[in-house]
């Protein structure tokens, strides 16, 4: 009977363990490991420092979209749950050809809808050019198919719920999921 050398046995065990473990899981800590410029500002913020360790509602936005009115509901969630730790953050994007220039986007957000939650300068949110933040969100759930796709993320950076554009921020489903997250359920 032939015996295998130790390096070959070690390799075989490692390969077997890798195959049994399945695909590698995303590193949730990497989700916020980015610096982004705030909307219509020269201020650059580190997302981990600004948002890390909190439950999050992350949303890709556009100013000329039929769902732009959702800024009102997002701001209401920010006001309602901010004291309980929820942080809302919007990421302007022109991936679906519905964002105006950055100055106009800021006017829509801050003047027209009175947004006080964090808004960031335009980034790509889908496809090969997606910013790493949205590439990670897509890996954990799915990529935005349209503007105002919403991701509910726990304190460790894991997506716990994903809502398409058609689900309004004030919907019972979103409020229940936010409550459950904030209650540690």
Pick 16 or 136 by higher pLDDT.
Answer: 136
**Which entry of 39, 56, 65, 115 is annotated as an active-site residue?**
65
Per-residue pLDDT at 50 exceeds 80: yes
The candidate with the shortest Cα–Cα distance to 56, out of 142, 136, 150, is: 150
**Element holding 136 (H helix, E strand):** helix 132-140
Residue 78 pLDDT:
98
Of 16-20, 68-72, 104-108, 115-119, the poorest mean pLDDT is in 16-20
* pLDDT value for 30: 78
Q: What angle do CA 153, 158, 162 make, to 5 degrees?
A: 50
Secondary structure element (H or E) that encloses residue 36, with its range: strand 35-37
Structure tokens given for 131: 């910013």
Q: CA–CA distance from 75 to each of 27, 31, 86, 97 (Å)?
A: 29, 23, 12, 24
Are 38 and 121 in contact by the 8 Å Cβ rule? The answer is yes
Given a cut of 70, is residue 2 above it in pLDDT? no
Average pLDDT over residues 66-89: 98
User: Does residue 1 register a pLDDT over 90?
Assistant: no
- Name residues whose C-beta falls within 8 Å of residue 94's C-beta, 6 or more positions apart in sequence: 62, 122
- pLDDT tops 60 at residue 15: no
For residue 59, pLDDT beyond 60: yes
150-153 and 159-163 beta bridge pairing? antiparallel
Q: Catalytic: 109? A: no
Angstrom distance (rounded) from CA 179 to CA 158: 16
pLDDT-derived band at 17 (thresholds 50, 70, 90) equals very low
Closest CA to 68 of 121, 103, 101, 115: 115
Q: What is the mean pLDDT of the chain?
A: 88
User: Mean of the pLDDT values across residues 132-152?
Assistant: 97
Query: How is domain 28-182 classified at the CATH fold level?
Result: Glutaredoxin (3.40.30)
Strand pairing partners for 162? 151
116 pLDDT higher than 90: yes
């Amino acid at each position: 009977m032939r015996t295998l050398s130790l390096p070959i046995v070690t390799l075989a065990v490692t390969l077997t363990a890798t195959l049994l473990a399945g695909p590698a899981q995303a590193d949730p800590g990497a989700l916020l490991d980015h610096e982004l410029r705030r909307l219509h500002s020269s201020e650059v913020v580190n997302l981990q420092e600004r948002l890390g360790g909190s439950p999050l509602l992350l949303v890709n936005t556009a100013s000329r979209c039929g769902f732009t009115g959702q800024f009102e509901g997002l701001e209401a969630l920010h006001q309602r749950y901010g004291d309980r730790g929820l942080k809302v953050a919007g990421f302007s994007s022109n991936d679906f050809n519905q964002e105006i220039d950055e100055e106009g986007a800021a006017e829509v957000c801050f003047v027209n809808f009175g947004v006080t939650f964090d808004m960031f300068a335009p980034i790509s949110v889908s496809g090969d050019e997606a910013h790493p933040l949205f590439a990670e969100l897509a890996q954990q759930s799915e990529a935005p198919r349209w503007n105002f796709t919403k991701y509910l993320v726990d304190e460790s950076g894991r997506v716990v719920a994903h809502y398409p554009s058609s689900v309004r921020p004030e919907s019972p489903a979103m409020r229940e999921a936010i409550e459950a997250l904030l209650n540690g359920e």
